[in-house]
C-alpha cells in the first residue's frame, strides 16, 4: 500500500466547505483542500431559465420497483468540446456551471436532474393499495448532484494529488450526511462513470450523487439479505465475506490498515473489485479521520491499477454501496465500493445480452482469481 508521507498527512483541519447559490437557485457547495479556504464569494450573473419542473416516478406492480421518467434530460449537454465544458472554471469571458475562476472541489445540483428538485414523501406500496398507484405517477422527489473533482479539464481521479483525493472523500461524506437528512430521502448513492463506453456525457473528471426517495432496487436487495443474515447468525454479512476473502487470499488485491480490496468470488463483470472498510459503518459519513485518510490513498491506488491494465484508459463505474437510511438497514449493512468495467480484453467489451439484460443471470468471461492476479501485478 502506498501511504501518504508525513507532509501529506499534515496536521491542518479537514476540508471545509461553503455553500453558495447559482443564478437559478441551485445549491453549489465548494470544498477547500485541507488548510485552504473554499471560494468565499460567488455571483452568478448568467441569465438562466427557470428550473425545469419535476419528472415523475411510476410504480412497477410486476417487480415492485419504482421507475423514474425524466424526459427533460433529453436536452442535457452531450460531450461538448473542451472550450465549452460546463465543469471548468468561468474564466476569460466563458461562463460555466461553476461561476468561479478557480476552486478545489465543488458539488452542485444537476441542471438536468433525474430526481428533484423538490422534496417529498412517496406513497408506500402495500399489497392491494399498489393498484391505486397504477396510472397515477408521483413527482420524482429527490436530489441529483454533480461532484467536480478538480478545475483541470484533463485527468481522472487516479491523477489527483493525495490532498485533492482527500477533499473528494470529504465532499462525499458531507453530502451523504446532508442529503440523508432531507425530507423523504431513503438512500444516498455516490458514483462515478468514466469513459464513453459507459455513457458519460462530460469528459471533465467528475462524479455524481443521487438521493432517492426510495431504496434503489439493488440496495434494497442487499439490505434485505444483510438484515436476514444478521438475524440468523448474529454476524454482519459483508464482515463475514471480508474475513473469508482474506483467509482465502487468492482474490485479495490490497490490504491496508482500515480497508481491503478484493475481487469477489462470484464476480459478474470481467473487471470487478470491491473496496471494503474493516470496521462496520453504514456510509461514508460514518468513517473516522484515519479511515478517510486511507480511503483517499487506496481508492486512488485502485483506479491507478485499473488504468495500468491496458495501454488506453479503462471505462468503469465506481459505485458506493451505502445502506438505506432506515435504522434496521444501518444496523445490518456495511459500506463498500464496487468498481466494475465491461472491458474483457484490450479491444473487447462485455455487452449485457439476453441472459444478463433480461434475466439478470450473469455469465462472466474471466475468473475472479485471474482478475485479482492482474490487479496485484499492476502495482507500481
- Where do the H-state alpha helices sit in the chain? 6-9, 162-180, 217-233, 237-248, 289-308, 327-332, 359, 368-377
Specify if 108 maps to a domain: yes
Tell whether the model's pLDDT for residue 5 goes beyond 90: no
In this structure, of 48-62, 209-223, 239-253, the range with the lowest mean pLDDT score is: 48-62
Q: Cα(41)–Cα(27) distance, rounded to whole angstroms?
A: 14
Same-domain pairing of 35 and 147? yes
258-311: pLDDT as tens digits: 999 999 999 999 999 999 999 999 999 999 999 999 999 999 999 999 999 999
Same-domain pairing of 184 and 39? yes
Same-domain pairing of 253 and 344? yes
Same-domain pairing of 178 and 241? no
Same-domain pairing of 186 and 259? no
Terminal alpha carbon distance of the chain: 10
| Domain housing 156 | 6-216
Tell whether the model's pLDDT for residue 8 goes beyond 50: no
Phi and psi of 152, rounded to 5°? -75, 130
Last residue of one domain, picked from the residues 216, 244, 271? 216
Q: Look at residue 54 and give its three-state secondary structure.
A: coil
Same-domain pairing of 170 and 274? no
Q: What are the residues facing 349 on neighbouring strands?
A: 343
Specify if 1 maps to a domain: no
Return the DSSP state at 84: G
Same-domain pairing of 124 and 263? no
Q: Residue 356 maps to which CATH number?
A: 3.30.428.10
Q: Cα(187)–Cα(143) distance, rounded to whole angstroms?
A: 11
Same-domain pairing of 144 and 252? no
Same-domain pairing of 150 and 267? no
State the Rg of the chain over Cα.
Answer: 21
170-200: pLDDT as tens digits: 999 999 999 999 999 999 999 999 998 888 8
Q: How far is CA 241 from CA 249, 261, 278, 306, 328, in A?
A: 12, 12, 11, 23, 20
Specify if 31 maps to a domain: yes
Residue with cell 414523501: 121
Same-domain pairing of 178 and 47? yes
Residue 230, judged by CB atoms within 10 A of its CB (0-12, 13-18, 19+), counts as: middle
Return mean pLDDT, the chain. 92
Give me the number of domains the chain comprises: 2
Q: Cα(78)–Cα(252) distance, rounded to whole angstroms?
A: 38
Last residue of one domain, picked from the residues 169, 193, 216? 216
pLDDT-derived band at 122 (thresholds 50, 70, 90) equals very high
Contacts of 23 (CB under 8 A, 6+ apart): 44, 45, 46, 47, 48, 99
Same-domain pairing of 58 and 175? yes
Q: How far is CA 109 from CA 3, 151, 168, in A?
A: 33, 17, 16
Same-domain pairing of 62 and 205? yes
Specify if 362 maps to a domain: yes
Positions marked catalytic: 206
- Report pLDDT for 232: 98
Last residue of one domain, picked from the residues 216, 248, 275? 216
Specify if 56 maps to a domain: yes
- Report pLDDT for 73: 80
40-80: pLDDT as tens digits: 889 999 999 888 767 899 999 999 999 999 887 877 777 78
Amino acid at each position: 500500500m502506498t501511504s501518504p508521507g508525513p507532509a501529506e498527512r499534515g496536521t491542518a483541519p479537514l476540508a471545509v466547505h461553503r455553500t453558495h447559490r447559482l443564478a437559478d437557485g441551485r445549491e453549489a457547495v465548494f470544498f477547500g483542500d485541507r488548510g485552504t479556504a473554499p471560494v468565499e464569494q460567488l455571483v452568478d450573473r448568467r441569465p438562466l431559465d427557470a428550473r425545469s419542473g419535476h419528472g415523475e416516478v411510476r410504480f412497477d406492480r410486476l417487480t415492485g420497483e419504482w421507475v423514474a421518467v425524466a424526459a427533460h434530460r433529453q436536452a442535457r449537454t452531450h460531450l461538448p468540446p473542451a472550450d465549452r465544458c460546463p465543469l471548468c472554471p468561468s474564466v476569460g469571458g466563458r461562463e460555466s456551471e461553476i461561476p468561479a475562476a478557480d476552486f478545489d472541489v465543488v458539488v452542485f445540483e444537476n441542471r438536468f436532474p433525474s430526481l428533484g428538485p423538490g422534496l417529498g414523501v412517496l406513497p408506500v406500496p402495500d399489497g392491494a393499495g399498489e393498484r391505486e398507484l397504477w396510472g397515477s405517477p408521483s413527482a420524482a422527489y429527490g436530489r441529483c448532484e454533480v461532484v467536480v473533482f478538480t478545475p483541470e479539464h484533463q485527468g481522472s481521479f487516479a491523477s489527483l494529488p493525495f490532498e485533492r483525493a482527500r477533499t473528494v472523500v470529504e465532499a462525499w461524506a458531507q453530502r451523504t450526511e446532508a442529503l440523508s437528512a432531507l425530507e423523504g430521502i431513503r438512500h444516498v448513492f455516490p458514483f462515478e462513470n468514466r469513459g464513453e463506453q459507459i455513457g458519460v456525457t462530460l469528459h471533465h473528471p467528475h462524479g455524481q450523487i443521487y438521493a432517492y426517495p426510495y431504496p434503489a432496487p439493488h440496495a434494497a436487495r442487499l439490505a434485505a439479505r444483510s438484515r436476514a443474515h444478521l438475524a440468523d447468525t448474529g454476524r454482519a454479512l459483508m464482515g463475514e465475506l471480508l474475513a473469508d476473502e482474506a483467509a482465502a487470499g487468492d482474490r485479495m488485491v490490497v490490504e491496508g490498515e482500515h480497508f481491503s480490496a478484493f475481487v469477489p468470488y462470484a464476480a459478474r463483470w470481467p473487471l470487478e473489485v470491491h473496496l471494503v472498510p474493516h470496521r462496520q459503518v453504514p456510509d461514508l459519513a460514518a468513517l473516522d479521520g484515519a479511515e478517510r485518510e486511507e480511503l483517499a490513498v487506496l481508492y486512488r491506488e485502485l483506479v491507478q491499477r485499473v488504468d495500468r491494465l491496458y495501454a488506453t484508459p479503462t471505462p468503469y463505474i465506481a459505485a458506493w454501496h451505502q445502506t438505506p437510511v432506515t435504522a434496521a438497514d444501518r444496523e445490518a449493512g456495511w459500506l463498500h465500493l464496487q468498481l466494475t468495467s465491461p472491458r474483457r480484453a484490450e479491444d473487447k467489451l462485455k455487452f449485457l445480452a439476453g441472459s444478463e439484460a433480461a434475466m439478470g443471470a450473469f455469465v462472466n468471461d474471466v475468473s475472479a482469481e485471474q482478475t485479482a492476479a492482474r490487479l496485484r501485478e499492476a502495482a507500481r
